[in-house]
Chain A
Amino acid sequence: MVLPRLIKNTMIHTFNLLADLGTRSRICLAANVGMMNAALEWIARSSRKFPRLAAVCGLVLVIPVGVVDYQTGLEVSVSLLYLIPVCLSTWFVGRAVGVFVSCASASAWLAADVLGRSVVGHALVPLWNAVTLAATFVVVAFLLAALKRKNETLEAAVLDRTSTLRSEVAERILAEQHLQHANAELRAAREDLQRSLTELQDSHAELQNTQLQLIEAAKSESIGRLAAGVAHEVKNPLMTLSLGTDYFLNHGPGTSDEAALLQDMKEAVRRGSSIINLLLDFAKPRPVQFQSEDLNALIENSLSLARHQLTACRISVVREFQNNLPLVPLDRNRVEHVLVNLLINAAHAMRDGGTLTVRAHVHPGPTALQSGSGTATVEIEDTGPGIPSEHLTKVFEPFYTTKPPGQGTGLGLAIVRKIMEIHGGSVALTNRTGGGARATLTFNLQTKQES
């Protein structure tokens, strides 16, 4: 839109000039104006993308035009003053203003031409040029000032926005820190909770354990009371029976059958009495007397005590004794009781014959034991049917028996466990993978050494 008008103005202007000038001057002017217009068009086109480059190029073009003007004797300022505002306004403000200034100048030229037919050499030309220049500077200055204000406003807005953003960022960082802090607190609280849960579980287990122990203690106590009462009530009649039997034995029983009957009565009294003693022993064991004993000899002795039972059931005995066992601190009578009890249990499990393996060894080997630490282990294995798993946990409970009524008191293994506990040792019953059961006795080699 702008360019055709510009070209039209320029052409009118050119023709007006041509009418007044000589042929050479006309050609020069035509070239001059053509170049100017070409430059303007190029500036207008390229200033869209590179306004400052266009302005510089425009100024560079002015110089040869000025030279040509000077040589042709034309007013130099015509070209220069025409082009310079255009370039300056393009430089500072942009293409649109540059085109506006160009149009204004061209219009002014046209107006001057219309009024004075020719502006070349006209007295008003320098004045007009000066006014145009001044007006251009005023416009440029005004636009620059406006631009500066706009820039300042923009900068202020940017600063404002930046500070807002900065404070927002700071707030977010703070919030994030709070969040992290809260997170850490939460984590700590969770750990605390976990810890208290573990503690609670521990104390619960401990409580259950204590409860079990209390029940055991209460059971023991009631067994003690029961035992004392039973002992008193049963032993007195047993004594009468015992002494009566003795009297008749000493006074000559009539027949041999009568003598045998009296012996049976004595045996019955002895059995009754030993059951009561077992009960009393369980309720309140006598003080234990520890002495260093040869474990192998003790096992051998127990085997000979149980020999009758073992041979009756046609059981072959395998001995796997470690040589040079260190002496073990123990109460001989009680441990013998334990061993005989376990041997007879094993024999009862193999009524139709079998193999009994008795093993004795120490950990960690005799040489290391000189320092006084370690354990001695006795294992008694049978080839019987083993122990049903539902009984395994209960066999050590007092009065728990799998034997038919009248054949077991249910105290045997309970006493075994008690005796092993007194020794600071332990007893365990397991089923062997190959069938049969295994009883394992563990003695501590040092704990009771001092007592």
Chain B
Amino acid sequence: MTKKRILVIDDEPSITRSLKLNLEANGGCEVRTVNNPCHALEMARKFKPDLVLLDVMMPEMDGGEVAAQLRANALLKDVPLIFLTAIVSNKETGGHEMISGANAFLAKPVDWHELKACLAEHLGSELQPIGTPGSASVESDKPGVWLD
């Protein structure tokens, strides 16, 4: 099985750390974290993630700009983007609708089960902890091809 590659972009190290820990240990993913959004594009190009988790409000560059950079890249333009936002139902949330290319928004504080369900939806496969039986049998994100 290939591990799902997930890029986490958030200016708070505690958040990227806790996400990385959960995604790796409980989701069997390969995770890279970026705390400075200015380095996000460079990391994404090198890492080629299957999905990006992205904070909206960051000091150097906000999530919308990062998303625009990623979408502008030919390799990364179809990668699902999930935004993490601290301010739901506020004025800034209205601005989120302007962010193009967002596949989903998750309101902080995100619960693991919530995150797992959302990732599964956008990755097309369930996340399984490492070493869980059955995880190896999930071979591809395109099971239809195999069945045909």
Contacts and interface: CB of A to CB of B under 8 A. Distances in A.
Interface stretch (B33-41, B85-93, B136-144): B85-93
A35 interface: no
B15 interface: yes
Interface residues of A, number: 28
B110 A239 contact: yes
A277 B85 CA distance: 12
A240 interface: yes
Contacts of B25: 247, 250-251
A239 B18 contact: yes
A241 B112 CA distance: 11
Interface residues of B, number: 27
B90 A228 contact: yes
B108 A235 contact: yes
Interface in B47-83: 57
A277 B107 CA distance: 10
Interface in A264-286: 269, 273, 277, 280-281, 283-286
B111 interface: yes
Interface in A218-263: 224, 227-228, 231-232, 235-244, 246-247, 250-251
B89 A277 contact: yes
B110 A242 contact: yes
A236 B91 contact: no
A120 to B, nearest CB: 149
Given A228-B92, A242-B110, A247 B86 contact: no
Contacts of B15: 236, 239-240, 243
Contacts of B17: 240
Contacts of B22: 243, 246-247, 250
A236 B12 CA distance: 8
Contacts of B84: 239
B134 interface: no
A236 B86 contact: yes
Nearest to A250: B26
Given A243-B21, A243-B22, A243-B110, A224 B91 contact: yes
8 contacts: A231-B86, A232-B57, A232-B86, A235-B109, A239-B110, A247-B22, A284-B89, A284-B90
Interface of A: 224, 227-228, 231-232, 235-244, 246-247, 250-251, 269, 273, 277, 280-281, 283-286
**Which 8 interchain pairs have the tightest Cβ spacing?**
A246-B112, A243-B18, A239-B109, A238-B109, A235-B86, A235-B108, A240-B14, A242-B109
Given A224-B91, A242-B111, A286-B89, 14 more contacts: A228-B92, A236-B14, A238-B108, A238-B109, A239-B18, A239-B84, A242-B110, A243-B110, A244-B18, A246-B111, A247-B25, A250-B112, A280-B90, A284-B90
